[in-house]
Amino acid sequence: MSAPDAGAPRLIEHDDEFAELVALLVEQPAYALDTEFHRERTYFPKVALVQIAWDGGLALVDPLAVDLAAFTPVLEGPGVAVLHAADQDLEVLDLACGTVPTTLYDTQIAAGFLGLSTPSLASLCERELGIHLPKAERLTDWLARPLGERQLSYAASDVLHLLELRGRQEAVLAALGRLTWSEAECELLRTRTRGARNPDEAWRRIKEARQLKGQARSVGQAIAAWREQRAVELDQPPRFVLADLAVVAIAQRAPTTADELRAIRGVDDRHARGRTADELLAAVAEGRDRRAPKETDAVQELPRELRPAVALVSAWISQLARDSEIDTTLLATRGDIEDLLRRVPDARLTEGWREELVGGPIRRLVSGEAALAFERGGNLVLEERSRQPLA
């Protein structure tokens, strides 16, 4: 496969040019893709540039000048979309085109199955290809126009080498018997639910709110849910709508009037008058009538007798990840271990290659069929249990 032209990238700023590019890309078996976006002041990401590379070509699409929805046939086509750390890019594409690629290859995920822990694209290119990517324009304002030549070159570098990386990675993954593992993990990422978060779960992202008890917790849940819904409505980050401090303070004080609301730390005049005040006080009233949520409402609490097993199993998994040259977070997180021990339905360690490599052995360990032992060098070995007591 020939590399895309590393010269000045082609900038697409007209719908007719974009239509020609789409007609070309739908015929490609694979294409590299990346986006530049901002979301510091919005709830949803604002796409500012789309970079695309294919066999022998490279283009940058200006979404401020063309309708990105025209890209949908490429995403829905048979070509493999190659991205690096694709999660937020997929959200951008879903918002702009109403869909995500039908087949995804994520070079960061693939790198995890080769022993690298969530590497940046720059470090991956340096390690695998001996290429140093530019860094100077990393913090540029991508929504500003016009974009300069250095900015465009920097953006192009994010897709310039992805197809070559994919080819090298796939060869090694196939030799190790891990290509299907990587493909399965990419599919999980591709099909993950995106968009606005569940308002009823918003309180859990506020550390101080998780420490509230009784009625204060239920009021905090209602206020955080209101804030999340208002943030979506205004397309603003939740903290712009109401600070975390104010959410917790309102939960603790449970005001019933606008004057009481105005006196709470973190609440300013815009919160204590008009529609906003009415909605906040209504949320407080709703919270007072609601049963306080518990951390154990959603899943069964981990049995006390199994709690020591979490630390023990975590140590074994860390070693297994090192020995197998697999990123530990891909193999199993602490949450994955606890889900397995709690018998959570569809726990990640009960399916596919993880069940064979990790889930099954852990179940044998906690059931007493297997044991962990130290061997020379301090390594942990999972082995058949002899059931022979020490003399």
pLDDT < 70 positions in the chain: 1-8, 292-300, 391
Query: Can you tell me which residue has the tokens 């290429």?
Result: 131
Six-digit token string for 306: 């199994």
Specify the pTM.
0.89
Q: Map residue 245 onto helix, strand or coil.
A: helix
- 3-class state of residue 195 by DSSP: coil
Report residue 193 as tokens. 């639910």
What does the pLDDT read at residue 195? Answer: 85
Strand partners, 36: 49
Decide: 279 and 226 in contact? Cβ < 8 Å. Answer: yes
User: Tens digits of per-residue pLDDT, 256-271?
Assistant: 999 999 999 999 999 9
Distance CA 168, CA 163 (A): 9
Model pLDDT, residue 297 = 47
Instruction: Domains for the chain: give ranges and CATH numbers.
Output: 10-190 (3.30.420.10), 199-288 (1.10.150.80), 304-384 (1.10.150.80)
Angle formed by the axes of helices 244-253 and 274-288, nearest 10°: 60
| DSSP-derived pairing of the beta strands 57-61 and 46-54 | antiparallel
Q: How far apart are CA 339 and CA 333, in angstroms?
A: 10
What is the per-residue pLDDT for 298? 43
Tokens of 227: 């804030």
State the Cα angle at 227 between 225 and 232, rounded to 5°: 100
Percent of the chain predicted with pLDDT > 90: 82
Q: How many helices (H) and strands (E) does the chain have?
A: 19, 8
Contact partners, residue 262, CB within 8 Å, separation at least 6: 269, 271, 272
pLDDT at 360: 95
